Every structure is written in C-alpha cells, then in structure tokens.
C-alpha cells in the first residue's frame, strides 16, 4: 500500500529544490497517446543525490482535477540500483482509466532515517482511447425512434469520439447504420438497438475501430398499411413486436413534430392503430395531425388502419 507521504508533499507547481521530475515512455509534446502504448508503458525515475540502499521510492500518476483517480507503486532501492534510474511498469488499464485527462506524475524518496524528498512533477495529457468499447444505454430517456430519425437529435442519443492517431484527415464508417451512423467529425448518432463497429481510417490508410453497443431505444417499425384492430395485434405478434400504446404514440409524435410525422417517414396520411381501448372501442392515432390530444380518436375495431409495432430490444 502506498504511504500518505506523497499526498502530503505533492504540489501543483514545480520547485527548484525538488528532485528531478520523472519521465514516462511515450510522452511527446506534453501528451501520451494510449494507442502508442497498447501494452502499457514505463515511468523512469532518475538517480538522485544521496540515493542509498533501502530508500523507499514511490511514484504516483494521477488526474490533476480528481486526485482519487490514480495509480502508483513503490520499491526499496537495492544495492545494485544505487546511482541508476529506477523503472516501474504502468499497465494499460491504468492509462485507460485516466484517458482524456490532464495528469501529473511524481515520486518521493524516503531514506531509512530521515524525511522524504519529493520530486518535481511531470504534467501531461493522456489522449482518448479510440478503440475502447462504448455502451450507450438510453433507457432512462424513453427515446422513441422510427426508421427516419427526428430532425433534432437529443444529446443523449449521440456522442463524439475523434481520431487523434496517425495522419489527418480521417474517414469514419459504421459497420451497421441501423444501429448507429457516424459523420465526418466522428460524431456518432444511435439509430436503434444492437451492436456495430465504428472505424476511422487516416490519410495513410491506417484503420482503427471500436465496438459500440446501443440499448434502451424504443424502436417503432412499420408493419402494415391496412388491418383491423385484431389483425393489428396478430401482425405484431408474428413480427415479434408489441402493439404501440397510445401514450407512446403521443410521445413519438412529440419527438418528431413538426414536420408531419407519417409523411416524413414515407407512410400514408391516415391513422394508425394503438394498443389501447377507449371503453369498448380502440384508439387510433393520426401521426400527420397537428394536435397531440386531437390526433387521437376511437373507432370500431372492424375499421382498417395502418399498423406500427414496438421493439424494445
């Protein structure tokens, strides 16, 4: 376990009377690209004046804004290493945990008898881990999504992961655009539940990719242009879908209107059955209407309307 010495003696600015700062393999221009060190890296602690056998030397790598995010290790200096640099391994898992953050690395040297000496700090940024898996769970938002997305995409349904390795510019691609699309800036937009890979290719043809899992989308699918109410339920069952509840149909309309929702999806301009009854007669909903409440009307179940189905996963 690391001692509390480092925490008590750490500093935010370097000092002329401190030990020389450590170096970390792969840090260039104030940044470490995780893609350059897939197997982890090393921190190198230079020899210091007064270095002696049994000195306890410990290092700490941590987020400058959140000191709880850290990784460290220590050793007792053996006779063979007196006067030589000390080298510690930093696993990739520690780098990944600090990705996309400004960090600092420093060390303390504590003799068997006496007070600890502290080092100056190496301050740098760890870049983003482009190939790290992403899971986008939007269950909490009750997001309704049809084949054609709404004109305004909410922030919770998209994210940006920009390529920073290799040589710009980059070309992005999605392996399954029914799950997610990606634009020229690396902004990913979810299109439905499922899994895909997002890839980026640099100017020299190098390609890297990451897996993406999307879940929690309430997916609306077109089932039929014409069915009575009982036929609607049967058609949904055959396709493994749920009939769409009235409240969810209203939510769908709110998220997409304007423009006229059915027309924007390429559907006909007449009502769709819902799963709910108004007494003995089922509700149908006009997605091309202009009033959330006024779009709903109840009809005899023998009437024929369009059919949508709901897929939750």
9 and 107 in a single domain? The answer is yes
Please report the pLDDT score of residue 279 as a whole number: 96
pLDDT, the chain, mean = 93
Q: What are the structure tokens assigned to 48, written together?
A: 């210091």
CB atoms within 10 A of CB 240: 9
Q: What is the CATH number of the domain that holds 259?
A: 3.10.100
pLDDT band at 131 (very low <50, low <70, confident <90, very high): confident
Q: Are strands 305-311 and 218-227 parallel, antiparallel or unpaired?
A: antiparallel
85 and 157 in a single domain? The answer is no
Please report the pLDDT score of residue 8 as a whole number: 36
Number of domains comprising the chain: 3
C-alpha distances (whole Å) from 249 to each of 63, 229, 253, 265, 291 are 46, 16, 6, 14, 12
67 and 114 in a single domain? The answer is yes
Cα separation, 134 vs 211, in Å, equals 6
Q: Are strands 207-215 and 272-278 parallel, antiparallel or unpaired?
A: unpaired
Nearest to 154 by CA among 216, 210, 200, 198: 216
Mean of the pLDDT values across residues 84-91? Answer: 98
Highest mean pLDDT among 13-17, 126-130, 210-214: 210-214
30 and 115 in a single domain? The answer is yes
Please report the pLDDT score of residue 271 as a whole number: 98
pLDDT band at 6 (very low <50, low <70, confident <90, very high): very low
Cα separation, 18 vs 20, in Å, equals 7
SS3 192: coil
Residue 308 has pLDDT above 70, yes or no: yes
Mean of the pLDDT values across residues 68-87? Answer: 96
Q: What are the structure tokens assigned to 67, written together?
A: 């000191």
pLDDT band at 7 (very low <50, low <70, confident <90, very high): very low
Q: Cβ distance 271 to 297 under 8 Å? A: yes
Mean of the pLDDT values across residues 71-80? Answer: 97
What would the pLDDT profile of 132-153 be if each residue is shown by its tens digit? 889 999 999 999 999 999 999 9
Q: What is the DSSP letter of 116?
A: P
Q: Given the structure tokens 């499922």, which residue do they identify? A: 194
SS3 68: coil
14 and 120 in a single domain? The answer is yes
Please report the pLDDT score of residue 3 as a whole number: 45
Mean of the pLDDT values across residues 261-277? Answer: 98
What would the pLDDT profile of 184-225 be if each residue is shown by its tens digit? 999 999 999 999 999 999 999 999 999 999 999 999 999 999
Please report the pLDDT score of residue 15 as a whole number: 54
252 and 293 in a single domain? The answer is yes
Q: What are the structure tokens assigned to 110, written together?
A: 């504590």
pLDDT band at 112 (very low <50, low <70, confident <90, very high): very high
Residue 103 has pLDDT above 50, yes or no: yes
Q: Cβ distance 70 to 63 under 8 Å? A: yes
Mean of the pLDDT values across residues 257-269? Answer: 98
Residue 4 has pLDDT above 80, yes or no: no
Cα separation, 195 vs 213, in Å, equals 4
Q: Given the structure tokens 């209203």, which residue do they identify? A: 250
Q: What is the CATH number of the domain that holds 211?
A: 2.60.40.1080
159 and 249 in a single domain? The answer is no
Residue 289 has pLDDT above 50, yes or no: yes
309: exposed, middle or buried (Cβ count in 10 Å: 0-12, 13-18, 19+):
buried
Q: Given the structure tokens 């959140």, which residue do they identify? A: 66
Range of the domain at 257: 220-311
274 and 288 in a single domain? The answer is yes
Beta bridge partners of 59: 73, 107
- Last residue within a domain, chosen from 126, 158, 191: 126
What would the pLDDT profile of 159-185 be if each residue is shown by its tens digit? 999 888 789 999 999 999 999 999 999
Residue 179 gets the label, from left (phi > 0), alpha (psi -120 to 50) or beta, of alpha
Cα separation, 57 vs 75, in Å, equals 6
């Amino acid at each position: 376990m690391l001692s509390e010495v480092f925490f008590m003696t750490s500093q935010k600015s370097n000092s002329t009377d401190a030990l020389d700062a450590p170096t970390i393999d792969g840090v260039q221009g104030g940044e470490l690209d995780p893609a350059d060190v897939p197997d982890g890296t090393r921190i190198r602690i230079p020899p210091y004046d007064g270095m002696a056998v049994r000195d306890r030397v410990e290092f700490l790598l941590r987020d400058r804004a959140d000191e709880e995010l850290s990784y460290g290790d220590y050793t007792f200096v053996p006779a063979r290493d007196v006067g030589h640099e000390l080298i510690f391994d930093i696993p990739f898992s520690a780098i990944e945990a600090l990705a996309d953050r400004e960090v600092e690395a420093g060390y303390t040297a504590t003799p068997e008898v006496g007070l600890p000496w502290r080092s100056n700090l190496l301050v740098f940024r760890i870049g983003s881990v482009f190939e790290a898996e992403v899971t986008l769970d939007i269950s909490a938002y009750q997001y309704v999504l049809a084949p054609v997305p709404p004109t305004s995409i909410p922030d919770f349904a998209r994210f940006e992961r920009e390529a920073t390795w290799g040589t710009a510019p980059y070309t992005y691609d999605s392996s399954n655009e029914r799950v997610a699309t990606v634009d020229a800036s690396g902004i990913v937009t979810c299109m439905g539940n499922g899994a895909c890979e997002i890839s980026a290719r640099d100017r020299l043809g190098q390609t890297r990719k990451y897996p993406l899992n999307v879940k929690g989308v309430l997916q609306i699918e077109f089932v039929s242009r014409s069915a009575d109410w009982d036929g609607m339920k049967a058609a949904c069952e055959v396709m493994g879908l749920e009939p769409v509840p009235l409240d969810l149909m209203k939510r769908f309309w709110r998220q997409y209107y304007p423009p006229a929702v059915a027309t924007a999806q390429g559907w006909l301009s007449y009502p769709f059955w819902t799963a709910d009854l108004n007494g003995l007669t089922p509700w149908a909903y006009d997605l091309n209407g202009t009033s959330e409440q006024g779009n709903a009307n109840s009809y005899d179940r023998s009437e024929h309307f369009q059919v949508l189905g709901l897929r939750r996963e």
